[in-house]
A = this chain, B = another copy of it.
């Protein structure tokens, strides 16, 4: 068990049991006990016991059985046996202990009582150390959904998550960072923003995630050409020498409590507002960011559905950022259709490289990336027009050179990479328009479902290339988009999905052209 854990009090007398190996792994320490033994010890399902063998000990959560283990035996899962160094037939000693202190803290939340800094520290520490059962975690998550945390509580939670994880401490400053709240497909802009601002001399140790419900996270995208699993000390080295990284967040142990909390949010697909903010800011604080630009894509089929909500996020990000010593600016960006043309890991990487090479197949991705990079440059004190400077760094090849430096530092087999080096799925199909008119909308969620049917994110070579976007004119029989896959069967599934979902809406006349590429509201 972790040494820092405050020991819970014994709540009963010790008893000796024999270990039975159970080949299973859970996040928390679990102990399987026969129901009759549990009655004797006054234990119920989900109670805690301290389990000791010699000097080693741990706190486990009790699960009961009538059949799996007999009396005087306890079933121990892999993690617990390893910690104690015991195996089948060994003797261990159990003593019931008091519940984790978090239980009373969570109950306070259920009673709508605002938590103190210390209470949030205890809660976060116990979550990090897998001391809470799913029932308890879910009660906390549910309470934050039904009764959101105050900004003060969010601040405390953010700092507690940072403290209970790895911290990357760079010897340079100031540190910049960038984060997109997500939910819009094709959003490969991180692969452009990071090399542009690093080419301008900014330090940006960017960590990013893999796809959860999307067709590809930034880590999946870059992984099609480079290593993204980079330990903390190496993120520091690369950032200090090259200026930036694009590393998978799962490769470092920053704010691990966040992953545990998110697991409990997933079954109900709830994304409590306060947790979104704490989650993002903890990851930025852990890399020592001084200035952060937030991209908040807003639109009907994205995570942030209304401008009001986007503004609320912006305000609270900035407010809490200030409280934890991070200067934050927010760009509310148009999320009404996919960004750029390509969707899916390799296809998005290819498009980013095409843009870096100066042969942009899409204006929206370029516009968005240079606008965001421009804001970061201005945040760094650049006195001219940031976007113009970003365009220059893109057009003169500096950003491409920096991208190559970054991936070579992270590890890649490809020297002087070009967009031609990025493979795509060998099977493809075209989806055609069955009418004439103008594209009036493209459903983000449907595009993601089609890409996932084609194999994304697991099939890194699968995905979609859009041939038409909002406002474009189409004729009957024109190609709307192409689907790629490594697997012929999955390609067929994706085509069927596309036919069923019909993600393009085409109108006979243009009612209103949504100025997708241009809308960047910045808040500072």
- Give the interface of A toward B (CB within 8 A): 13, 22-26, 32, 39-40, 42, 44-46, 63, 65-68, 75, 78, 99, 103, 106-107, 110, 112, 133-139, 141-143, 145-147, 212, 263-264, 266-270, 452, 457-458, 493
Contacts and interface: CB of A to CB of B under 8 A. Distances in A.
Contacts of A112: 146
A106 B141 CA distance: 14
Given A42-B452, A267-B103, A493-B13, A68 B138 contact: no
A230 to B, nearest CB: 19
B133 A267 contact: yes
Contacts of A68: 23-25, 78
A114 to B, nearest CB: 15
Contacts of A264: 135
Given A25-B68, A138-B139, A268 B78 contact: no
Contact of A106 (B22, B99, B268): B268
Contact of A24 (B24, B42, B46, B135): B24
29 contacts: A23-B68, A23-B75, A24-B24, A25-B66, A42-B452, A68-B78, A106-B268, A107-B269, A107-B270, A110-B142, A110-B145, A110-B268, A110-B270, A112-B146, A133-B134, A134-B138, A135-B135, A135-B138, A135-B264, A135-B268, A138-B138, A138-B139, A139-B141, A139-B142, A142-B142, A142-B146, A143-B146, A146-B146, A146-B147
A313 B212 CA distance: 46
A99 to B, nearest CB: 8
A106 to B, nearest CB: 6
Q: What number of copies of this chain does the assembly contain?
A: 2
A316 B268 CA distance: 31
B212 A44 contact: yes
A267 B136 contact: yes
A515 to B, nearest CB: 34
Nearest to A40: B458
Given A103-B268, A147-B146, A452-B42, A25 B65 contact: yes
B25 A24 contact: no
Nearest to A140: B142
A26 B134 CA distance: 14
A112 B25 CA distance: 36
A266 to B, nearest CB: 6
A45 B263 CA distance: 7
A326 to B, nearest CB: 30
Nearest to A79: B67
Contact of A134 (B24, B32, B135, B143): B135
Contacts of A143: 142, 146
Nearest to A457: B39
Given A24-B22, A270-B110, A142 B138 contact: yes
B135 A44 contact: no
A238 B63 CA distance: 36
Q: Specify which of A99, A134, A139, A143 lies most central, judged by the most chain B CB atoms within 10 Å of its CB.
A: A139
Contacts of A493: 13
